[in-house]
Amino acid sequence: QIMLTQQAESLWISPGERVSITCRASQSLLYTDGKHYLSWYQQRPGQTTKALIYHASVRTDGVPTRFIGSGSGTEFTLSIEHVQPEDFAIYYCLQTLKSPYTFGAGTKLELK
């Protein structure tokens, strides 16, 4: 199965800073349609898990432009510019290229 590695378990930042969360796949997530099957999710206490980014770089409806997905092949990044108080949460990457679909271990954004 495809392994996804999010190396940082936690990242401590201050509001207003920029942060990058990385996700590395054990094999390329590029499909023959030219798209990468890598998505990002935000999990906040008491709220449903929210999809932020799909196909590595496409924001889902209503997601603020400060959330930026990038990367290709096996290396992907979720960047958050000017972090807001509501962004302190856990972030997961997910690959849906090949079954079994797999998640990264998650990165928790914590207030410095």
Partner 1 sequence: EVQLVESGGGLVKPGASLKLSCVASGFTFSDYWMSWVRQTPGKTMEWIGDIKYDGSYTNYAPSLKNRFTISRDNAKSTLYLQMSNVRSEDTATYYCTREGYYFDYWGQGVMVTVSS
Interface with partner 1 (CB under 8 A): 1, 35, 37, 39, 41, 48-51, 54-55, 60, 90, 92, 94, 96, 99-103, 105-106
Residue type, 103: F
Please, which residue, 66 or 108, has the CB nearer to partner 1? 108
Q: Least distance (Å) from partner 1 to the CB of residue 49? A: 4
C-alpha closest to that of 3 among 106, 101, 107, 108: 101
Task: Match 């997961």 to its residue by tokens.
Answer: 92
Say if residues 6 and 102 touch (Cβ distance below 8 Å): no
Nearest approach in angstroms of CB 83 to partner 1 is 20
Which lies closer to partner 1 via its Cβ, residue 58 or residue 111?
58
Measured CA to CA, the distance from residue 61 to residue 17 in angstroms comes to 24
Name the residue nearer to partner 1 (CB basis): 14 or 48. 48
